[in-house]
Structure 1
């Protein structure tokens, strides 16, 4: 019986040593691609855009995305059509 316990202890000890050896040799952090450098100023990433509000619903949007009718801005062609007088 003592021999069985001794053999069991040796097997457990060897497994423990192998496990601790793997932990030391394995890289603890996964390798990730290098991050892109970020500009110091967040506003430097995007060009500044003038914001306008829709005459019909009041939503604000960049001027280059707005539907313009003279000096008035609309968020969609549907709101532009809704603002135009109907001809009967």
Structure 2
């Protein structure tokens, strides 16, 4: 009977240690919450003047005929429009 009691106490200690190790740590408390980044805010979608693909405004390239998805499309559009 005495050994059964010691076995139960030992099992309880091992269980408590296992539960504490498996629990994720709490994040550090910060003085103020992090501010939302500008990248998280919605952006306007613009259409490439050459191929018509829509892309975010911060990824577009400005050109003489509008905005473009790549430098190659900007160059081909401006070359074609310059001849016309």
- TM-score class, shorter: 0.5 to 0.7
Question: 1:3 matched to which residue of 2?
Answer: none
Partner of residue 19, structure 1: 11
Once the two structures are superposed, the pairs formed by residues 5-84 of structure 1 within 5 Å of their partners are 10=3, 13=4, 14-24=6-16, 27=20, 29-34=23-28, 37=33, 46-83=40-77, 84=79
Cα 1:30–1:68, aligned 2, differ >3 Å: closer, same or farther? Answer: closer
Cα deviations by residue, 1:33-55 (Å, 9 ceiling, x for unpaired): 2488578xx9x873453321112
Q: What is the total number of aligned residue pairs between the two structures? A: 75
72 and 35 in structure 1: CA distance in 2 versus 1, 3 angstrom threshold? farther
**Using a 3 Å threshold, how does the CA distance of structure 1 residues 38 and 79 change in structure 2: closer, same or farther?**
same
Q: TM-score, structure 2 length as denominator? A: 0.54
RMSD: 3.8
How many angstroms apart in 2 are the aligned matches of 1:82 and 1:51? Answer: 22
- TM-score w.r.t. structure 1 length? 0.53
Structure (1 or 2) with the larger CA radius of gyration:
1
Q: Where do 5+ consecutive residues of structure 1 fail to align?
A: 1-5
